[in-house]
Amino acid sequence: MAFTEQERRQLLALKGVGPTVLQRLEQLGYHNLAQLAEADAGHIVQAAASLLGSSCWKNSPQARAAIQAVIAHARLIFPGVASSP
């Protein structure tokens, strides 16, 4: 399972989001915008760092900004959905 072509185009249009970001999200089990609207950026970058066995995702401001942009976009599409505080 993967993002639809429309979702891919939308996400790739965001600053800092490229094919590798989408690949990592899919590897972590995120396959649509509704899932991302419920997601937490801190959790995603931590999980990506663990997946790769490297702290680069966790410590990178660019990676965090890209994931935050993805989540913000998803929440625009699904405004009633957000993670719990």
Task: Quick: pLDDT tens for 25-56.
Answer: 999 999 999 999 999 999 999 999 999 999 88
Q: What is the mean pLDDT of residues 46-73?
A: 95
Q: How far apart are CA 73 and CA 58, in angstroms?
A: 21
Q: Domain range spanning residue 61? A: 5-77
- Domain assignment present for residue 84? The answer is no
**pLDDT value of position 82:** 67
Type of residue numbered 51: L
Work out how many domains the chain is built from and give that number.
1
Q: How many CB atoms lie within 10 A of CB 74?
A: 24
Q: Amino acid identity, residue 41?
A: A
Residue 18 contacts residue 43 (beta carbons within 8 Å): no
Q: Do the domain assignments include residue 83?
A: no
Residue located via tokens 């994931």: 67
Q: Cβ atoms within 10 A of the Cβ of 28, count? A: 16
Tell me whether residue 9 is in a domain: yes
Instruction: Over range 47-68, report the average pLDDT.
Output: 94
Task: Output the average pLDDT for the chain.
Answer: 93
The pTM for the full model equals 0.91
